[in-house]
Amino acid sequence: MKFTNGYWLLKPEYDMTFAVEAYKWQTTENSLKALCPGTSIRERGDTLNGGTLTVTLTAPVENVLRVNVCHFRGARPTGPRFATADEHVTPTFGEDENTVSIQSGELKATLSKAARSWSVVYSAKGKRLTESGFRGMARALHKPTGQSYMIDSLYLDVGEKVYGFGERFTPYVKNGQVVETWNEDGGTASEIAYKSVPFYMTNRGYGVFVEDPGDVSFEVASEKVERVQFSLPGEELTYDIIYGETPKEILMRYTALTGRPALPPAWSFGLWLTTSFTTSYDEQTVTKLIDGMAKYDIPLNVFHFDSFWMKGFNWCDFRWDPDTFPDPAGMLGRLKARELHICVWMNPYIAQESPLFAEGMENGYLIRKENGDVWQTDLWQAGMGIVDVTNPAARAWFCGYLKRLLDMGVDCFKTDFGERIPVRGIRYHDGSNPVKMHNYYSFLYNQMVFELLERERGQGEAMLFARSATAGGQQFPVHWGGDNSASYISMAETLRAGLSISHSGFGFWSHDISGFEKTAPADVYKRWCAFGMLSSHSRLHGSASYRVPWLFGEESCVVLKEFVNLKCRLMPYLFRVAVEAHQTGVPMLRPMMLEFPGDIAAEACDTQYMLGDQLLVAPVFHEDGHVDYYLPEGHWTHLLSGQVTEGSRWLRETHDFHSLPLMVRENTVLPMGVCDTRADYDYADGVTLHVFEPADGTLTLTIPDTAGNVDARYTLTVHGDEITVDKDTAKPCHVVLHRGGKTVPLS
């Protein structure tokens, strides 16, 4: 949101109170507090007829400083608020003639005591990170409406790049953009986002988390090109500065504060096939689709029933359409006998035709207007209301219907929607602020369903396929990218969204292979299959047509099978990376700058990614098969061909449909399993350790079991072309050395 006309002039509709100086300050055991008037205080009379900002700095956890800026304190506090895992560490303080400071771990905030010189400099290990300075911190009053806004802005250094803000489909580097953290259902081809997170990080060693689930607006090197400005309605602003020596450390600290992702079950990493959205289907159709996958020997782990498993106009009543599925329990039993897991579509909206609407209205389980009426709309489902997730009784009622499906044999839910949440004239059961609830609804909605699954299926077996989210929502995986289109352009914007959400603490992420809207040409389908199978989770899904490969030609069946088989064999590696995401908050899909900090060329790469720490993936986005990608320093081996390429350069290559740049980092031990038909198996049983371009020394590797526990630990000692394996801690394995483009089996 912009408040100025250029650098000097204010927009005429605003009155601004800028922090001009720290007039007085004090330290307590846990805080540094400063009174900052909006005018310089030269004499006693200057203390009259003007506003002040009270700035309080505390240390919620080590290497994080929390900044609270308040104009008026008289407002009644309203929720919701983001839950943070504060440890309330005791900071250290310093003071000299010109400054006073507070420090948490290595992170220090230094407040200027000079008159007419507002400044808070954030630094770590003696290095300046950023600063709130001249005309940076303020309260704005919109004179026509009386609406107040709180603002701060932090300087950007030369070459500093900004990333994150949730799942954004806009350019990957966010400099020059206006980012409104307001969840909306806008597809993937606009600045609107399903998953808005008021957190960003830069390539200069810090991140910023605005602790407000409401309408936070960011001007990212836009209103003031040398700063990131953030503003929100109200009289109070709280944000955290999070220091990390590396980008991974920033994410570790951010997710320690807001929550780390649960570990999805191993079976969920296999291939998912759906009915698609508006297609016509019944049990015979479903069986035909599954039989077709078996005919082409394409492994399938999960089958998903999309919206029309329920009767039209009845969403959601959680009843199988009796005209289409007369024997749902029997059908699910027959599918599960084929070792398939089952997912069904749902959302938190209750159509007026659904029997649940009357129940919800009578018992106060639906969001109400201020006059007590149920809020309703015809957008999406006719006359629909929305479950009030702030009401414990409503949550229990809603989950009771989901439990019946679990008892029938359903394994997980696609928790669709959660973005179209009204704000005007709304009253929640717990009195929550409707504006703050707009985004936070997605958190409570997905939390409600995820916790039901944990109760019914047990920890380690719970997972969602969720579309909406905000900060903290990463705890309830998996999330997918929403309604994309069947084109290379949309495939690329989908990846940009995946990169951005990875910067926002989401460890697991998926997308609709070949695009949701329209039907892809065969070349797009085949290229997207490779990209999709080299994502944490992989789902074939569309709108008006089935996404089974034989509809796109015989070669599509071959390509899909090859990449499904490859992913299954990579599961000893991929599931280790998944456990790491769960334990540390470092995502599976990693932007290049996350794995190669300080590499300037890597900082803007938006058409490639690291899958864990050892595999580089560059999807093909062009019909002629050409792909441009960047290899950081070192020797890289193409996993599929064995060719070795020297890094520190850009490459242009042409790949057929059976290949793409899938490069293994040097000094890597890549475990590959014996099973290529399922994602959940004994990963260490008969595993082959592929050792790529190793240096002399010791390499270590752990392989988890499907519960995420360490199952095998290997220590490899390399001396030239000789490799020995510590037999005391390792299960039996095969070892293959890859050096100079040659493959040498060693055992």
234-288 residue pLDDT tens: 999 999 999 999 999 999 999 999 999 999 999 999 999 999 999 999 999 999 9
d(CA 645, CA 647): 6
Given the residues 152, 160, 211, 419, select the one marked as catalytic.
419
Residue type at position 30? N
| pLDDT over threshold 80, residue 728 | no
Task: Say if residues 587 and 581 touch (Cβ distance below 8 Å).
Answer: yes
Report pLDDT for 307: 98
Which of these, 198, 196, 219, 209, lies nearest to 241 by C-alpha position?
Answer: 209
Report pLDDT for 735: 97
Q: How far is CA 349 from CA 315, 360, 377, 434, in A?
A: 7, 11, 10, 17
Respond yes or no on whether the N-terminal peptide bond of residue 80 is cis (omega within 30° of 0): yes
Report pLDDT for 495: 98
Q: How far is CA 660 from CA 7, 431, 596, 627, in A?
A: 47, 53, 21, 8
Report pLDDT for 408: 98
Report pLDDT for 319: 98
In tens, the pLDDT along 286-301 reads 999 999 999 999 999 9
Question: What's the length of the chain?
Answer: 747
d(CA 657, CA 641): 14
d(CA 533, CA 520): 17
Task: Say if residues 260 and 583 touch (Cβ distance below 8 Å).
Answer: yes
How many other CB atoms sit within 10 Å of the CB of residue 146? 7
Domain 13-77+85-258: give its CATH architecture.
Sandwich (2.60)
Which of these, 394, 402, 399, lies nearest to 430 by C-alpha position?
Answer: 394
Q: How far is CA 452 from CA 59, 341, 413, 470, in A?
A: 34, 17, 11, 20
Q: Is 359 an annotated catalytic residue?
A: no
Q: Which pair of structure tokens corresponds to residue 75? A: 């407002």
Helices 328-336 & 283-295 angle (0-180, nearest 10): 10
How many other CB atoms sit within 10 Å of the CB of residue 613? 16
How many other CB atoms sit within 10 Å of the CB of residue 163? 26
Q: Which pair of structure tokens corresponds to residue 335? A: 């599918």
Report pLDDT for 724: 94
Phi and psi, residue 228, nearest 5°: -105, 120
Report pLDDT for 729: 74
Q: Which pair of structure tokens corresponds to residue 367? A: 């969001």
Given the residues 21, 152, 461, 483, select the one marked as catalytic.
483
Report pLDDT for 700: 95
3-state secondary structure of 687: coil
Share of the chain above pLDDT 70, in %: 100
Report pLDDT for 668: 98
pLDDT interval class at 349 (50, 70, 90): very high
Report pLDDT for 563: 98
Site of tokens 């570790």: 252
Strands 92-95 and 99-104 come out as antiparallel
Given the residues 21, 212, 416, 603, select the one marked as catalytic.
416
> What kind of fold does domain 589-745 have according to CATH?
Immunoglobulin-like (2.60.40)
Q: What is the mean pLDDT of the chain?
A: 97
d(CA 312, CA 238): 45
State the span(s) of the chain assigned CATH 3.20.20.80: 266-346+392-419+438-545+561-568
3-state secondary structure of 631: strand
Q: Is 483 an annotated catalytic residue?
A: yes
How many other CB atoms sit within 10 Å of the CB of residue 372? 8
Using the CB atoms, write b or e for 405-434: b if 16+ within 10 Å. Answer: bbeebbbbbbbbbbbbbbeeebbbbeebbb
d(CA 286, CA 303): 9
In tens, the pLDDT along 352-369 reads 999 999 999 999 999 999
Report pLDDT for 75: 87
Task: Say if residues 547 and 514 touch (Cβ distance below 8 Å).
Answer: yes
Report pLDDT for 672: 98
| pLDDT over threshold 90, residue 727 | no
Report pLDDT for 78: 87
Which of these, 206, 175, 181, 215, lies nearest to 195 by C-alpha position?
Answer: 181
Please tell me what DSSP assigns to residue 194. Answer: S
In tens, the pLDDT along 201-236 reads 999 999 999 999 999 999 999 999 999 999 999 999
Task: Say if residues 481 and 167 touch (Cβ distance below 8 Å).
Answer: yes
| pLDDT over threshold 90, residue 20 | yes
Q: Is 419 an annotated catalytic residue?
A: yes
Which of these, 302, 305, 252, 311, lies nearest to 277 by C-alpha position?
Answer: 305
Q: Which pair of structure tokens corresponds to residue 410? A: 């359903």
End-to-end CA distance of the chain: 63
List, in sequence order, the alpha helices (H) in 518-612.
522-533, 554-569, 571-584, 592-595
Report pLDDT for 92: 98
- Compute CA 19 distance to the chain's CA centroid, rounded to the nearest angstrom: 34
Task: Say if residues 515 and 491 touch (Cβ distance below 8 Å).
Answer: yes
State the span(s) of the chain assigned CATH 2.60.40.1180: 589-745
d(CA 265, CA 247): 27
pLDDT interval class at 378 (50, 70, 90): very high
Respond yes or no on whether the N-terminal peptide bond of residue 316 is cis (omega within 30° of 0): yes
Angle at 193 between CA 191 and CA 195, to 5 degrees: 150
In tens, the pLDDT along 438-490 reads 999 999 999 999 999 999 999 999 999 999 999 999 999 999 999 999 999 99
| pLDDT over threshold 90, residue 172 | yes
Beta strand extents in 244-358 (DSSP E only): 271-274, 302-305, 341-346, 349-350
Domain 266-346+392-419+438-545+561-568 has CATH 3.20.20.80: yes
Phi and psi, residue 338, nearest 5°: -95, 15
Q: Which pair of structure tokens corresponds to residue 546? A: 């089935």
